[in-house]
Structure 1
C-alpha cells in the first residue's frame, strides 16, 4: 500500500495553509503503478483521470497521514499532521468505498477511541468547502474565500422552543451580529419570530424545523415577522451580506452588591488580527468593551460564552491577557501537544511548544471572573477559561451548563490545485485535529466538557433579553454569589414562564473548535 501512495505522489506537491496544494502538472493525470484499490480504470504503469473529489481525497489523506511537506515521497522523513495518525491503518484514499472526502475523513476520525467514553475522540474534524468559515474566523469578514460560493449571511441565530402553556412551537432570536444585515435592523436576543416568508403555522416536526432553517439561515433572503422585546410587531426583509464581524453581541456595566460589574457576550472568536497582520474589527469591539469596564472601575467580570463555539486562538490569548492578574505577566498561558512526528521537528519548522502571557498582561485587578457556559461553549472559549485557572485563587467561576468538551485544535490547511489550463482551483479548507492544549498546571483533556461550579447550573431562557438581572437565571445566580448568598436562584415568575430551547432541535450556533492560523504561517515559513 505504501508503494501505491508513493507512486501516486510522483506528480504531487503538498504544502500547508495559504500555500496552494497543487499538482505540479496536469491535475487530472496521476501515475497509478500497481494501484488496484482506486476507482476508475487503471493499468500498471498507466494513468487515471481524477475528479476534483478524488484529488481532494488524495491530498487530504496525505496531509493528515503521510507528510504535509512532500506528498509522502520520503516516508522515512514523513510528517503526518493528524494528532491521532498512529491509530489509523494505511488506507487507499482513492478506494471507491470512500465516495467523498467527507466519508474518508469520517473514516479516519473513527479509529482513535477514548477509553472513558468508548467513542472516537475525534468528532470534530471537517472540511470547509466554501472558505466562508475560514474567512470569517481568520479575517473577521463574513464572506467566502471561494469566489464561486454565495457571499455573506444575515448574521443572526434563532432557537425553536416548546411553549407548554400554549401547546405550540415558538422561534426566538438567540443573538445577532450588530454589523450584520439583521443587526443593522435592530434584531436582537429575545425577539420572537412569528412568521417567515408568510409561514405562520409552526410545529415540532423535522419537516417544519428544516423548512424554517432553510428559509431563515440557508437562503439569500427571507421576510421575517417579529414581536420585539417591548411587545411591538415588526416585519422586514433580510438579505445576506458581507460585513466585518463584531463578536460582542452585547456589553454593559451591571450593578451587583452595590458595585459595578462588567458583562459582555461573545458569540464567536473571529481573529483579532487578519491574514495580513492587521487589527480586525473584532479587536476594536473587544477593546471598546474593556475600555468601558475600566472606566467604570469594575472588580468583577462576567464573560457570556453560552453560544460561543470558539474560533481563532489569537482571540483567546488576547482576552486572557486582558483578564489575567498582573502576577501572570510573562508566565505560561498554555502548552501545545503535537503527535510524535511533529514534536520531534517542532522547533525546526516553527511549531512553538508553549504560549506565554504578555509582559503587560493584567491591568484589571479582578477579584472574580464568571464565565456563562453551555453545551455550545467549545474549544477556543474553553481554552480561554482553562488558561486563567492557575492564576486566580478561587476566582474563576462557571455558571450555566457543562461545556462542549474540545481540548484539541486545528491548523488550517487550504487545499487547492492547478487544472490543465493552469488555473488554480480551490477545493476546501481542511480542519483535522493537529494538537491538544493544557494550561500552566498541565491540566486539559476535558473531552466530556468542563462542569459548572457546584450549584451553579442554570437554564437558558431564550426569551430573556441580554443583561436582564431579574429573569436571566445565570445572572441571578451570579448576583446571589456576589451578595454572599452562594448560588441561590430566586426570581419573579413571569415572562411566559421562561422558555427554553427544544432539546431535540439542533441549534446552528456555528463553529465548534479552535484554529491556530499563526501556526499555519510558521509551518509555511519552516518549509522555505
Structure 2
C-alpha cells in the first residue's frame, strides 16, 4: 500500500501528503479524467456488472467523487493516487517530498496519558537515538506531555520542515531476552534527553530482526523473528539478506510480524512465500487471479518459486492485527495449503481482492480488478482472517522483549507445544477517540503491476 493503514491511535508527527486530485484546469482535465475512469470501471472493475448502464460523468465534480459514488459496498480500497508519490513509495519507500520533513514517529497513548512509540524506521535520527518501539516520551521541549492535549503536542513539534529540531526526554524500556543458552536475561532501560531534527522519511520494510534461542525438550531451537512493514521494492534485497542470515544461523522456526503491514507488491509476497514454504511446494499454484467476465482472459495462476535462502519450514507464525491487510493476508492464505500457518494476535483487515496500477494524466488508478484465491480456491475473507490465538498489540514493549504479548504466545507454542491461555487476551490499553488514522488516503493498496486500459 502507499501509506500504512493505522487503526490504532496515531499522533500526526508524521507528515501527511494529501493533495488535490484534479489540480490545474479543472473543467478540461477533470473531464478527461472522468471519461478515463468511466471506461476503466466498465472494463476492469471487479463489480462492473453492477455499474449503471449509463454513467453521467457530469454529475460529479471530480474523478474522486465519481469513484466513491460508483464503488461497490464491499470495496473499501479503490483509489486514485498521484503518480509521483506512488512511484516514490513503491520504488524506494520515500514518503516525504523535497519540501517537507518529519521525525517519522508513530505513537500510541494509553488511557492514563502515557505516550509510547509504536515504531520508527531504521536509518532515521529517531531510531538511532532510541526513539524506538517501547520507548516512553516524557517531555517534548521540556513540556510534560501528560499536561497537554495532542493538538498542543503537534504544535510543540513545529512545522513539518527539514531541519526543525526538537528535544525529547524519553525512557527506554526494560527488555527481557533469551541469551545464547536459552535463559532469560534482563536489559535495563534508561531515561535520557536527546535532540533530533526533522528529515526526509524513508520506509524501511524491515524494522526489526533477531534470532532467539529457546530450549525445547532439552534442545536448543533457533527462532527467526522478523518485523515486516511493507511489500515495497526495497524489501526484495532486505528479505533475501535477512533470510540468508537466518539460514546461516540454523533457524528452524520463524515468527513473522505483520501487525502493521497493509500490503503492497504481490511479487514481494511471492518472494517471501518462497523463503518460508517447504521445498516440496516448488512449482505448485501459490495463488490465482480471477477477474470480471470482460477480462476473463487475464485469469492466471501464479506458481510458487523456492528462493535461494529458503528455510524449508513446515510451520510459520504470523502476528496480525486489523492493520494486517492485502498482500499480507494473501500470503497467509496462499501458504495454508502447503504448511501450518499459525496466526496470533487479532483478526486481519479483510481484503481478498487486488488492483492494477492504471496510469493516466499523472495519476495511478488502483481500481479493484480481481479476486485472489489460494491453491484450494479459498479466498473470500472480506471479514478478515481469524486467529489461532488471541493476543494484543502493546507498544510499551520493545520488539525484542519476550514478554510482548504476540511474541510471547508464539514462543510459548514453540517451546511448550501450546499457547498460554492465561495471557491470551492481554492487550495494551489505548484511548481510541482522540486521534486520527495516519494519512488514510492510501489504505491497503494491493498492487499487482501496471496495466494499460484497453480501448
Q: State the match for 2:376 in structure 1.
A: 441
Residue of structure 1 aligned with 2:69, choices 104, 107, 120: 107
Using CA pairs below 8 Å that are at least 6 residues apart, which structure has the higher relative contact order?
2
Measured at CA, do residues 242 and 126 of structure 1 come closer, stay the same or move farther in structure 2, by a change above 3 Å?
A: same
| Distance in 1 separating the partners of 2:127 and 2:384 | 31
Residues 301-336 of structure 1, C-alpha deviation per residue, up to 9 Å, x if partnerless? 100001111111121111011111111111111011
Shift of 1:130: 7.0
TM-score where L is the length of structure 2: 0.80
Which SS does the other structure have where 1:302 is aligned? Answer: strand
2: distance between equivalents of 1:215 and 1:54?
41
1:401 aligns with 2:346: yes
5+ residue gaps, structure 1, are 1-49, 69-78, 113-119, 164-168, 272-279, 347-351, 417-425, 492-496
Tell me by how many angstroms 1:174 deviates: 1.0
1:502 aligns with 2:428: no
How far residue 370 of structure 1 moved from its aligned partner, in angstroms, is: 0.2
Report matched runs for 1:68-107 at 5 Å: 80-89=43-52, 90-95=54-59, 98-107=60-69
SS of residue in 1 equivalent to 2:166: strand
Residue aligning to 1:467: 400
Change (3 A) 1:482 1:67: closer
Q: 2:213 aligns with which of 255, 277, 298?
A: 255
Q: Tell me what 2:183 maps to.
A: none
Q: Deviations over 1:43-62 (max 9, x none)?
A: xxxxxxx9644556444444
SS of equivalent residue, structure 1 residue 406? coil
**Mapping 1:216-295, distance limit 5 Å:** 219-220=160-161, 221=164, 223-225=166-168, 226-229=170-173, 230-241=189-200, 243=202, 245-256=203-214, 257=216, 258-271=220-233, 280=234, 282-295=235-248
Q: CA deviation at 1:431?
A: 2.3
Structure 1 counterpart of 2:311? 364
Report if the CA contact (8 A) 1:65-1:85 is conserved: no
Instruction: Report whether the alignment pairs 1:386 with 2:344.
Output: no
Work out whether residues 130 and 172 of structure 2, in 8 Å CA contact, stay in contact via their aligned partners in 1.
no
Contact 1:410 1:513 in 2 (8 A): no
User: Which of 126, 136, 144 is the equivalent residue of 1:200?
Assistant: 144
Compute the displacement of 1:268 (Å).
Answer: 1.5
Contact in 2 for aligned 1:338/1:434 (Cα 8 Å): yes
CA distance in 1, matches of 2:349, 2:129: 32
Aligned to 1:494: none
Write the mapping of 1:23-172 to structure 2, written as runs, cut at 5 A.
Answer: 52-55=25-28, 57-67=30-40, 80-89=43-52, 90-95=54-59, 98-109=60-71, 112=72, 120-129=73-82, 131-137=84-90, 139-143=91-95, 150=99, 153-163=102-112, 169-172=113-116
**Long gaps (5+) in structure 2:** 1-22, 174-188
1:178 to 119, 122, 146: 122
Question: What do you get for the CA RMSD once the two structures are aligned?
Answer: 3.1
What is the 5 A alignment of 1:513-524? 513-516=444-447, 518=449, 520=450, 523-524=451-452
Post-superposition offset of 1:203: 7.3
Query: For 2:411, which of 479, 493, 498 is the aligned residue?
Result: 479
* 1:226-256 per-position Cα deviation (integer Å, ceiling 9, x unaligned): 332323122323313154x421110011123
Q: Note if contact 1:329-1:357 (Cα within 8 Å) is conserved in structure 2.
A: yes
TM-score by length of 1: 0.69
- By how many angstroms is 1:364 displaced? 1.1
CA contact (8 A) 1:129 1:429 kept: yes
Question: How far 1:173 moved relative to its partner?
Answer: 1.2
Does the 8 Å CA contact 2:122/2:207 hold for their aligned counterparts? yes
Q: Hey, what does 1:354 align to over in structure 2?
A: 301
What's the CA shift string for 1:142-164, capped at 9, x where partnerless?
A: 156xx7x745654332222212x
